[in-house]
Chains A and B, each alone.
Chain A
Amino acid sequence: MIAEIGHYALVLAFFVAIAQVVVPMYGAARRDAALMGFAAPAASAQFLCISIAFGALMRAYITSDFSVANVAQNSHSLKPLLYKISGVWGNHEGSMVFWVLILALFGFAVAAFGRQLPDTLKARVISIQGLIGLAFLGFILLTSNPFERLDPAPLDGRDLNPLLQDPGLAFHPPMLYIGYVGFSLAFSFAMAALIEGRVDPAWARWVRPWTLAAWTFLTAGITLGSWWAYYELGWGGWWFWDPVENASFMPWLAGTALLHSAIVVEKRDALKAWTILLAIITFSLSLMGTFLVRSGILTSVHAFAVDPERGLFILGILIVAVGGSLTLFAIRAPALKAGGLFVPVSREGGLVLNNLILSVATVTVFIGTLYPLFLDAMTGDKVSVGAPFFNATFVPVMIPLLVLLAIGPLLPWKRGNLRAAVEKLWVSALFTVVVAGGILVLEEGAPLAPVLGFGFAAWVAGGVVTELAERIRLFRIPLGDSIRRLFNLPGAAYGMSLAHIGMAVFICGATGEMNWTRELVATARAGDTLTLGQYELVLEKVERSQGPNYFRDMATLKVSKDGVPYATLHPERRLYPVQQMPTTEAAIRSSISGDLYVAIGEGSDQGGYIVRVWVKPLVPWIWTGAMLMVLGGLFSLSDRRLRIGAPKRSKRPAARPAVTEAGD
């Protein structure tokens, strides 16, 4: 019964979406306040309906209602509660319901918090948001009904893929989806602006917090996924350039560019068409991510729903959404008038360069991910593109960005002086030389990669500190005044510094891990001692026991570092009987200088176990750097300027004419 209510609520949401699309859009064209007023309640009703559907599905999972096919295929009565809940979005149908739930949530957020928005803009944004929802609700109802019943109901379910039964992965998809879907609002705002024919600083101020929120969640989501792969897959890597990872990375790159270009619109009333285009591209890449994962056109660990019919449906949505929005862009965008003058050496000039580099980086990843498909379509040749391609192309593309990252924030708006900015960076340059030189000395005959990596990290960090020091006029005014200034900085300033310093920390982590990792693989019996670098590991015992829905072999290793007892590690190997699948639970001892990572394999016939040990320097810096970026996003969101949002009501166009329609 509950499942049927859920299904019914989805159908209802579909029809509400139709009304949400048509009525406000028509109302905005007619400037009819009553019809435009329909937008907010429709968005709320939409959110309510989908919440009911999602709640019904979650209830089916929690109560293990195996008469619902989706639950029977992806859950099991013995599964811990957390994974029963995360199982809701750990499968195709459930994840799509979750997708539209987030979409409706964002629509609802505009309805609830967008009181300051001009009526026409608000109505149009909610209408476009409804249109996206309509497409995906249609997709769910026609091809992926999560509430399909099984008769007779099986006694127990087929369990969730054990690799996915993990706390890191329980929260990875929701974060990622909030990020992906969050960009839908930037898209809806872009479409609405094109229809209105007007983009101004106020528009950018409304778009930025939403984009920032989506970006922050996407960053957190990607980080969680990478962290999960690192400790769960048991082979010690943290980024594989896997097509599905790339699918989430491309919207991140484009979204990062969007964040920066929206600043230019806000501050200088320029770069409008480009910002609109970026908003379209960012959301298109999010949609493409969904398409790539769902269509099975690229295979990977993540492609859990491979079904050509679904792939075609999403491809259809993608073509209509991207094609339609780009057509609108081609027609309306040329009329958008740029505001201020533009000098290459200026803050806005730096941001343009930032956008250029990030776009090239996005294209690089795009080509690497899809080139094999293109080549196949054109010539029938088959190639595979892997990490070597990305390391050879993506990394060099990012280097100028890092150089720029230190300089850009020091340039003033409108007219900058490159020389003055670079002169301010002498401390940073000195720091860079010291760090790079230090690496050269410490690691005799060190390859170029770590020298460059840490050198750039130092340059970026130095740049951030310099910028902060400039801001608070350190050493130029009394120290007390400087500190007072530091505490009075706006949230956005902290946000920028944190995110940029996060970048430097991340580079250190990635460089350390890639260049200095040491590995040992050996077969060991109880009592054997393994040595790797400063570490000595004694395998004490391996015991078999039973978990809630798996069996495990748990090893106990006593570790000493430089002869001093350091840690006791318990790597596990689990077997999930329902899916007949083994998983590895690595044991990781983290410290600021790096990770000691131990995984065990199957016992061999001779009674020993395969033990793999890695020493991975600086790995925690990778996650720390990413978390600093997230923190930067949150600080920036807390900025008063964004919270009270934009101009006062008096500035908004009245319900009638007054709007300057764009014309050539």
Chain B
Amino acid sequence: MLNRLLFLLPLLIFAVIAGYFTVPILTKKDPHILPSVMIDKPAPPHDLGPLLEGKPGVGPEALRGEVKLVNFFASWCGPCRLEHPILMRLAAETDLPLVGINYKDQRDAALVWLRELGDPFGRIGVDGDGRAAIDWGVYGVPETYVVDAGGHIRYRHVGPLTAQALKETILPMVEHLRAAKG
């Protein structure tokens, strides 16, 4: 009997694993909007020191006042490199403020990264130990959040930004939030 149970064990373990996979996907349709419990909550108030001299860091007050995108990035992160040109274009072509949070990075590496690929951000805060990222609910870099004028998180995009996500979701949402405020 015990022997039989032993042979059943792999199936039981698999059932548990499969459950954890399936339930979140079935209950929430798009895995990209998937998990944030932070939506519509105030952005976590962290005081993140500046990365660059002459460019401000990200304090709690910095996230209020107008609609903005907050982007978590790191120089060691491959997908960040993929999305970077999109951020650069966004900075050049729109007036949407971009806030960067440099996640668990080495300062020098981050500086090289920005010098090499360009710096699209209006302000950059350093989240060296990743504490702020945990409070924001970051699963992995890159992630991008839409934060409204009141400092509330309105949208979370997991993974590299795509032109499509910007055009179809993020920019319309920014317009909507701006209109709602006005």
Residues of A within 8 A of B (CB): 163, 233, 235, 237, 240, 242, 273, 277, 280-281, 284, 295-301, 303, 306, 308, 311-312, 315, 318-319, 322-323, 326-327, 329-330, 333-334, 370, 372-374, 376-378, 380, 382-384, 386, 521, 523, 580-582, 601-602, 604, 610, 612
Contact assessment for A326 and B14 in the assembled complex, using a CB-CB cutoff below 8 Å: yes
Measured between beta carbons, the chain A residues less than 8 angstroms from B115 are: 523, 601-602, 604, 610
Residue of chain B at shortest CB distance from A301: B78
Contact with A along B66-82 (1 / 0, CB 8 A): 00000000011011011
Check A308/B31 contact, CB under 8 A, given A296-B159, A384-B130.
yes
Among the listed B4, B25, B133, B140, which residue makes an inter-chain contact with A311, where contact means beta carbons less than 8 Å apart?
Answer: B25
Among the listed A233, A312, A523, which residue makes an inter-chain contact with B25, where contact means beta carbons less than 8 Å apart?
Answer: A312
- Residues of chain B from 89 to 146 with CB closer than 8 A to chain A in the complex: 89, 104, 108, 112, 115-118, 130, 133-134, 137-140
Measured between beta carbons, the chain B residues less than 8 angstroms from A521 are: 108, 112
Measured between beta carbons, the chain B residues less than 8 angstroms from A604 are: 115
Measured between beta carbons, the chain B residues less than 8 angstroms from A300 are: 78-79
Residue of chain A at shortest CB distance from B16: A374
Among the listed B21, B79, B112, which residue makes an inter-chain contact with A612, where contact means beta carbons less than 8 Å apart?
Answer: B112
Measured between beta carbons, the chain B residues less than 8 angstroms from A580 are: 85, 89
With contacts A299-B158, A329-B10, A521-B108 known, what are 20 further pairs, Cβ within 8 A? A233-B78, A237-B76, A296-B32, A296-B159, A301-B79, A303-B159, A308-B29, A370-B17, A373-B21, A374-B20, A377-B20, A377-B24, A378-B20, A382-B137, A581-B82, A581-B85, A601-B115, A604-B115, A610-B115, A612-B112
Residue of chain B at shortest CB distance from A277: B10
29 contacts between A and B (CB under 8 A): A233-B81, A273-B7, A284-B14, A295-B31, A299-B79, A299-B158, A299-B160, A301-B82, A303-B159, A308-B29, A311-B31, A318-B18, A329-B7, A330-B10, A334-B4, A372-B140, A373-B24, A376-B139, A377-B23, A380-B35, A380-B37, A382-B134, A521-B108, A580-B85, A580-B89, A582-B117, A601-B117, A602-B115, A602-B117
Contact assessment for B139 and A382 in the assembled complex, using a CB-CB cutoff below 8 Å: yes
Measured between beta carbons, the chain B residues less than 8 angstroms from A306 are: 31-32, 159
- CA separation between A372 and B130, bound complex, in Å? 15
Residues of B within 8 A of A (CB): 3-4, 7-8, 10-11, 14-15, 17-18, 20-26, 29-32, 35, 37, 75-76, 78-79, 81-82, 85, 89, 104, 108, 112, 115-118, 130, 133-134, 137-140, 158-160
Residue of chain A at shortest CB distance from B3: A334
Chain B min CB distance to A392 (Å):
16
Contact assessment for A326 and B11 in the assembled complex, using a CB-CB cutoff below 8 Å: yes
Measured between beta carbons, the chain A residues less than 8 angstroms from B10 are: 277, 280-281, 326, 329-330
SS of B interface (majority): helix
- CA separation between A370 and B160, bound complex, in Å? 20
Measured between beta carbons, the chain A residues less than 8 angstroms from B104 are: 386
Measured between beta carbons, the chain A residues less than 8 angstroms from B116 are: 601-602, 610
Chain B min CB distance to A561 (Å):
25
Contact assessment for A319 and B134 in the assembled complex, using a CB-CB cutoff below 8 Å: no
- CA separation between A356 and B78, bound complex, in Å? 34
Residue of chain A at shortest CB distance from B13: A326
Measured between beta carbons, the chain B residues less than 8 angstroms from A284 are: 14
Contact assessment for A383 and B112 in the assembled complex, using a CB-CB cutoff below 8 Å: no
Contact assessment for A330 and B7 in the assembled complex, using a CB-CB cutoff below 8 Å: yes
- CA separation between A281 and B17, bound complex, in Å? 13
Among the listed A233, A380, A384, A612, which residue makes an inter-chain contact with B138, where contact means beta carbons less than 8 Å apart?
Answer: A384
Measured between beta carbons, the chain A residues less than 8 angstroms from B26 are: 312
Measured between beta carbons, the chain A residues less than 8 angstroms from B18 are: 318-319, 322-323
Going nearest first, the 4 A-B pairs with the smallest beta carbon separation are A299-B159, A601-B116, A326-B11, A301-B78
Contact assessment for B79 and A315 in the assembled complex, using a CB-CB cutoff below 8 Å: no
Measured between beta carbons, the chain A residues less than 8 angstroms from B31 are: 295-297, 306, 308, 311
